[in-house]
Amino acid sequence: MRRYMRALLLCTVFAVFSGLYVYSKVFRADVSVGGNGARRAFIPQRGTGTRRGSADRAGPPKPHWYHRYIMRQSGQMEGVGSRPEPTMHLAVVACGERLEETLTMIKSAVLFSIKRLHLHVFAEDQLHASFVDALESWPGSFRSRFNYTVYSISFPRENAGEWKKLFKPCASQRLFLPLILKDIDSIVYVDSDILFLQPVDGFWDFLSRFNPSQLAAMSPEHEEPRIAWYSRFARHPFYGRTGINSGVMLMNMTRMRSAFFKNDMTPVGLRWEELLMPLLQKYKLNITWGDQDLLNIIFHHNPEFLLEFPCKWNYRPDHCIYGSNCAPAEEDGIYILHGNRGVYHDYKQPAFRAVYDAIKKYRFGSDPVTSLLDPLKEELLKTTHTYCGKSHTLFTNRLALSLANIDRKAPPGR
C-alpha cells in the first residue's frame, strides 16, 4: 500500500511540473508575437531570399490551388480594450508591366481614404518584392493608414491555363476572390488602371444600400444604348440595356458564396464555384471581354442580385470621347477615373494621362494644392482640343475637395 502511495505522489508532482512547463511555453510564445498586428502574419526578411520557405515551414493545414503569400501590417499597436478600427478591403490584380500603374492606383486610394484600408494585391511572383519595397518606403504617416497582403496568381489547377489567358493575363482572377478570400465578408475590386479622386469610403458605403437580395454593385458599360458595345455587338446575354463594366466592382462575398445563381445550363441554381467553368465552356467562343462578359451573363439571369451605381464612380473615355454623356459627373465631378485601353500611357486621351501623371509624381507630405492640383489644372488646359479635355473641370472638381481634407486627417508623425 505504501508503495502505491509513493507512486501516486510521484505522478502528481510530475504532472504539476509538466503543466507549469507547458504554460510557460505558451505564455512566452504569446508574448513573442504580440504588439505587431495579426499573429498569422508572415513578415519576410529582406535579402534572405526565403519568402516562400518561411511560409511553408509554418505548415498550411491543407494544400489548395490558392495560397496567401505575404501579409504586412502597419506595425501599430492597439490599446488594451480598444475596439478595432473598421477596415475597408480593396483588391487589385497586377500582371506584366502593371507595377507602376497599380502602385499609382494604391497611392490614390491611400491618399484620400478616411477609414483604414486592407489591400489585397494579386500579382505574379516576380513582382512581389517590388510591391513590398515600394509600399514599405512610403512615409509613416501614410503607411499607417493601411495593411496589405500580396498573393500569387492562382486558378483552379484543372483549368488554370484557360483562365489565365482569358481576355488579358490574370484579369479573370477577380472571379475567384470569393473562393480565395473566404474570411473576408466584403471587398472593393478595381482594375489597376483606376484612380480614386474621392475617398474609397464613399464607394464602400454602397454596401449599406444593398437590399437583402443584392450581392454586388457595378456601373453600366455605357449610358446610351444606341452607341453601346454590348447592345450592338454582343453574341451572348448581357445585363440591362447596355451591359455592365467590371473595372470597379463592390462584392458582398459572403452572399456570393451562399447564393444560388439562375442560369441557362441547368434547371436549378448553381453556387458561384459551380457556375464559373460551365459558363466559360458554353460561351468561350462568343465572348470578347473575358470575365466581364461572364459577369454580364450571370447578372443577366440574376438582375435582382446587382446594384447599379452611377457613371461618376467609373468614368471612362467612353463618357467623353464623343462628347460628355455622364450626367452625374457633370453635376458632381468624377469620383473614380478608369483609364482603360491604355490611355494613361499614350496621348490619345491626354486629359486622362494628365491626371495619372499628376498623382504618380505627387510626393507624400508635400502641399497637395501647389504640388498636385495646380500643376494638373495647367496640364488639363492643354487638352481642350479633345472632347474629354473640353470637360476638364470634371477631372478636378471632386479632386479639389478630396485634397482639401488630406492635412486634416493625416496622423501625426512621419
Is residue 263 within 8 Å of 270, Cβ to Cβ? yes
Q: Please report where in the chains the cell 490619345 appears, as a residue.
A: 348
Which of these, 229, 239, 235, lies nearest to 316 by C-alpha position? 229
Mean of pLDDT over the chain: 84
Q: Which grid cell is 71?
A: 501579409
Is residue 358 within 8 Å of 350, Cβ to Cβ? no
* Residue with more model confidence, 338 or 285: 338
What's this model's pTM, rounded to 2 decimal places?
0.82
Tell me the pLDDT tens digit for each residue of 180-227.
Answer: 999 999 999 999 999 999 999 999 999 999 999 999 999 999 988 888
What is the average pLDDT across 71-92? 68
Residue 405 pLDDT level (bands cut at 50, 70, 90): confident
Residue 160 pLDDT level (bands cut at 50, 70, 90): confident
What is the average pLDDT across 313-334? 95
Q: How many residues does the chain have?
A: 414
Q: Which grid cell is 169?
A: 493575363
What is the average pLDDT across 68-93? 68
DSSP H helical segments within 289-335, as ranges?
291-301, 327-332
Q: Which grid cell is 251?
A: 462584392
pLDDT of residue 32: 31
**What separation, in Å, do the N-terminal and C-terminal C-alpha atoms of the chain show?**
73
- Maximum distance among all Cα pairs of the chain, rounded to whole angstroms: 106
3-state SS track over 144-212? CCEEEEEEECCCCHHHHHHHHCCCCCCHHHHHHHHHHCCCCCEEEEECCCEEECCCHHHHHHHHHHCCC
Phi/psi for 216 (5° steps) reads -155, 160
Q: What is the dihedral angle through the alpha carbons of 405, 373, 219, 226, rounded to the nearest 10 degrees?
A: 150
Which of these, 40, 66, 195, 72, lies nearest to 122 by C-alpha position? 66
pLDDT of residue 373: 97
Q: How far apart are CA 208 and CA 119, in angstroms?
A: 21
pLDDT of residue 50: 33
What is the average pLDDT across 147-163? 87
Q: How far apart are CA 184 and CA 41, in angstroms?
A: 16
CA distances from 89 to 133, 187, 207, 346 (A): 21, 5, 12, 31
Q: Is 240 helix (H, G, I), strand (E, B) or coil?
A: coil
Measured at the CA of 358, the angle between CA 354 and CA 364, to 5 degrees, comes to 170
Tell me the pLDDT tens digit for each residue of 4-59.
Answer: 566 666 666 566 555 554 444 333 333 332 333 332 333 333 333 333 333 343 44
Tell me the pLDDT tens digit for each residue of 253-310.
Answer: 999 999 999 999 999 999 999 999 999 999 989 988 889 999 999 999 999 999 999 9
Q: How far apart are CA 5 and CA 13, in angstroms?
A: 12
Q: How far apart are CA 219 and CA 234, in angstroms?
A: 18
pLDDT of residue 66: 62
